[in-house]
Amino acid sequence: MAKIKDLTGQRFGRLMVLYDTGERKNGSVVWRCRCDCGNESDVRSDSLVFAHTTSCGCYQRQRVVEVNTVHGMTREETFHSIYWAWCSMLQRCENPDNKSYKNYGFRGIKVCDEWHKLIPFCDWALASGWQKGFQLDRINNNGNYEPGNCRWATPQENNRNKRCNRMITFAGKTQCLAAWADETGIGYFTLSSRINRCRWPIEHALTEPVKRRKKEENDENQRRDRECGTGEFN
């Protein structure tokens, strides 16, 4: 067994190493450290030595506040929104215990090296159209989380870009069923029934006007008769 290098008393960034906790993660010693801000945290030796972790997290929070101040945004709201988008991204791709891991990390979806640190991700977010309420969305659902394959989208846009959506191509345009419903004015469930249950051809399903129910037609006819004064009434 390799001899453990004692890091007690050494400083790494804002962290001072206090003692060996006795824990081991991925073969690395876990050290209890005290940050200059007063907080204590447990950090693996490789994270300390290779400068992956240099504070308890206070430095990242400070930098985000500075970035937000430059961009003139609400500090707290901006930090929490971007921070949780970043955390969720990493959890989905790298934590097998996360409920969404099966759809991301298990499928081979990865986070680029640059975005393993919060500040580069935050800088990209603020320069790439982040707005309150927007969600992080991958353009290619089989691609990784990286600057060239990500954007900020509304919840509706994000839902329509899920890989479980059936994409339909008609007249040179490809989009999901919900988008076709909006464009044609035909109800989503009507289109779904036409295509999936009744097996209509795509062109027919997207262009055939919806027939009104008989009762609706009768009601409309009666309304018109009243307006014209030609109807028979009791």
Q: How confident is the model over 187-211, as pLDDT tens digits?
A: 777 877 887 788 888 887 888 887 7
Nearest to 143 by CA among 135, 131, 151: 151
Interval 37-51 mean pLDDT: 88
For the whole model, what pTM was predicted? 0.45
Q: Which 3 state secondary structure label does DSSP give 132?
A: coil
DSSP 142: T
Rounded distance between C-alpha atoms, residue 127 and residue 69, angstroms: 14
Interval 201-225 mean pLDDT: 65
User: In the structure, what pLDDT confidence band is assigned to residue 100 with cuts at 50, 70 and 90?
Assistant: confident
- Mean pLDDT of the chain, nearest integer: 78
The answer, yes or no, to whether residue 221 has pLDDT greater than 70, is no
pLDDT of residue 232: 39
Match 């804002």 to its residue by tokens: 14
